Amino acid sequence: MSLLKHSIWNVAGYFIPTLIAIPAFGLIAREIGVELFGLYTLSMIFIGYASIFDAGLTRAVVREIALLKNRLDDCNTIIVTSIIAVVFLGGIGGGGVFLLKDHIIELLNMSPIYYVDAIKSLILLSSLIPVFLVTQILLAELEGREYFGILNIQKSLGNSLIAGLPALFVLINQTLFSAIIGVAIARVICLWLSYIMSRKRITIDISFFSITVLKRLFRYGGWVTISNIISPILASMDRFILSHIQGASKISFYTVPNELVTRLGIVPGSLGKAVFPKLSHASSFTASYAEQKKAYILMTVIVLPLVLFIYYYAKFILTLWMGAEYAGISVEILRIMLIGYIFNCYSQISFANIQAFGKAKYTAYIHMMEFIPYLIMLYIISKECGVIGVAWLWTIRVIIDFLMLFYMSYRCNNLMKKRVA
């Protein structure tokens, strides 16, 4: 199946959930108010950040399955070993969050009346970490086999529930904890759906666990873990630092345009997921380069018209979606971030090529180089320039990120040429 068809399947997996998420987000914001909605968006970031506890195993599983998909016992060993590992790591991560819950809440600088609501929500979120990680491993098996049809049926159903159930629960009781209950139920259903769609190929039996395979996965995943730890911090720390400095009541005006740009990330993310197993399986530079070229062309044709449309109609879109209070500074933030979004789209292809070539350490080096300078600048800009300054800083960072990833991808291509020669 072609790269375009795989990408369309991936986009389709997010299309229905996005249609649900757009009005659901607006409803949640109106029901629980600006400050709690800001905390809700941070909660969604927290779940995504839980991927740091998989130690890079999700990405390693995709690559291993792509290489060994015709060897059933080997695939069972890879999946069972990874599941046992992430349950253990997720338990440690969730336990750590539980123990530090009071300190985490204090850092968010929220109104005291919301403390109890936030504490209960964080406890429930921490218990979801192993559930989330096991789901990701099962989805990685589908991705590695390039079963994008099945994969995106699960994603469409699961993400629709993740988007819709919190809104439904908020209608019943207007608290953050009610919204998180909706998230928790949706995540458990996602895990069940993932297992149902994989059970014909996967035998969950502890006898398949292998220390040797675990070491091999960690050797690849170790460098991925560094990126998994640093990349979400780079992507989300702007909102946490803004909340700490400006207060949780101000963060919504930044998180709403940021959330829209994140939703637009469906497009490059879908293409990146489609091209990664193809690049992993490519046996020559010619085949790999052809896939990369197609990916860049496809990305350009889709992304540029989309960005131009949203840039022009930004005020109308945000007002219709979230209400008139988001028609001011949020519009300017959205337009600034759309510039960075274009470069971030192209980064997905370079990132996929680097990791498919087995040089995950390159992306880790890049993220380590960016990490400290960005956090220092983020803290300074948050205090001195507010949300507009932070939006420009984010855009500048993703442009620099693209340039470095593109250079490293170019190096990987040259290395592949030499191998063939």
Averaged pLDDT for residues 158-176: 88
Averaged pLDDT for residues 256-261: 84
Q: Which residues contact 161 (CB under 8 A, 6 or more apart)?
A: 185, 186, 189, 190
Half-sphere exposure of 192 (CA within 13 A, CB side): 8
Give the pLDDT score at 7: 56
CB 142 within 8 A of CB 10: no
Predicted TM-score (pTM) of the model is 0.65
pLDDT band of residue 165 (cuts 50, 70, 90) is very high
Residue type, 380: I
d(CA 134, CA 143): 14
Least confident of 25-39, 130-144, 238-252: 238-252
Which tens digits make up the pLDDT trace of 210-228?
A: 888 878 777 765 666 666 6
Per the structure, the complete domain to which residue 54 belongs is given by 3-420
Give the pLDDT score at 280: 66
Which tens digits make up the pLDDT trace of 312-363?
A: 998 888 888 777 777 788 899 999 999 999 998 888 888 888 877 777 677 7
Q: Which residues contact 405 (CB under 8 A, 6 or more apart)?
A: 347, 350, 351, 354, 363, 366
Top-confidence residue, 325 or 384: 384
Three-class secondary structure of residue 202 per DSSP: coil
Q: Return the exposure string of 256-267: e unless at least 16 CB atoms fall within 10 Å of the residue's CB, then b.
A: bbbbbbbebbbb
In the predicted structure, residue 147 carries a pLDDT above the cut 80:
no
pLDDT band of residue 189 (cuts 50, 70, 90) is very high
- Give the DSSP letter of residue 173: S
Q: Which residues contact 186 (CB under 8 A, 6 or more apart)?
A: 158, 161, 162, 164, 165, 166
Residue type, 358: G
Q: Phi/psi of residue 283, each to 5°?
A: -95, -5
In the predicted structure, residue 9 carries a pLDDT above the cut 60:
no
Between the two ends of the chain, the Cα-to-Cα distance in Å is: 29
- State the average pLDDT for the chain: 80
CA-closest candidate to residue 414, choices 349, 359, 348: 359
| Number of domains forming the structure of the chain | 1
Residue 13's Cα: distance from chain center in Å?
14
pLDDT band of residue 188 (cuts 50, 70, 90) is very high
The structure tokens 């559930």 sit at 131
In the predicted structure, residue 305 carries a pLDDT above the cut 80:
yes
CA-closest candidate to residue 295, choices 276, 312, 314: 276
CA-closest candidate to residue 31, choices 159, 164, 172, 239: 172
d(CA 263, CA 301): 18
Give the pLDDT score at 2: 61
d(CA 181, CA 232): 24
In the predicted structure, residue 406 carries a pLDDT above the cut 50:
yes
